[in-house]
Amino acid sequence: MHTGGKLDVEDLLKLVLILVVVLLALQIIGLFIDILASISPLVAVVIVVLILAYFLDYI
């Protein structure tokens, strides 16, 4: 018998969990972008530059 396309319940639950985590992460990123858009654009640019500098080890 061909069982190559069969998925276990645990595999499906892991896939659903991953998709829910991705959805929550995208909603949090969207909320962060909305907060940045509501404040002054200059302040938002400064915050983004500081975060990028931190990640690139310039700070």
pLDDT tens digits, one per residue of 24-44: 999 999 998 888 777 777 777
Domain residues for 58?
Answer: 26-59
Q: How many domains does the chain have?
A: 1
Instruction: Indicate whether 41 belongs to any domain.
Output: yes
Q: pTM (2 decimals)?
A: 0.54
Instruction: Indicate whether 53 belongs to any domain.
Output: yes
Instruction: Indicate whether 33 belongs to any domain.
Output: yes
| Torsion sign over Cα 34, 35, 36, 37 | positive
Q: Please tell me the distance from the alpha carbon of residue 39 to that of residue 10, in angstroms, as a whole number.
A: 44
Instruction: Indicate whether 56 belongs to any domain.
Output: yes
Asked whether the predicted pLDDT for residue 3 surpasses 70, the reply is no
Instruction: Indicate whether 16 belongs to any domain.
Output: no
Q: What average pLDDT is seen over the chain?
A: 83
How many whole angstroms from its chain centre is CA 14?
18
pLDDT for res 21: 93
Instruction: Indicate whether 14 belongs to any domain.
Output: no
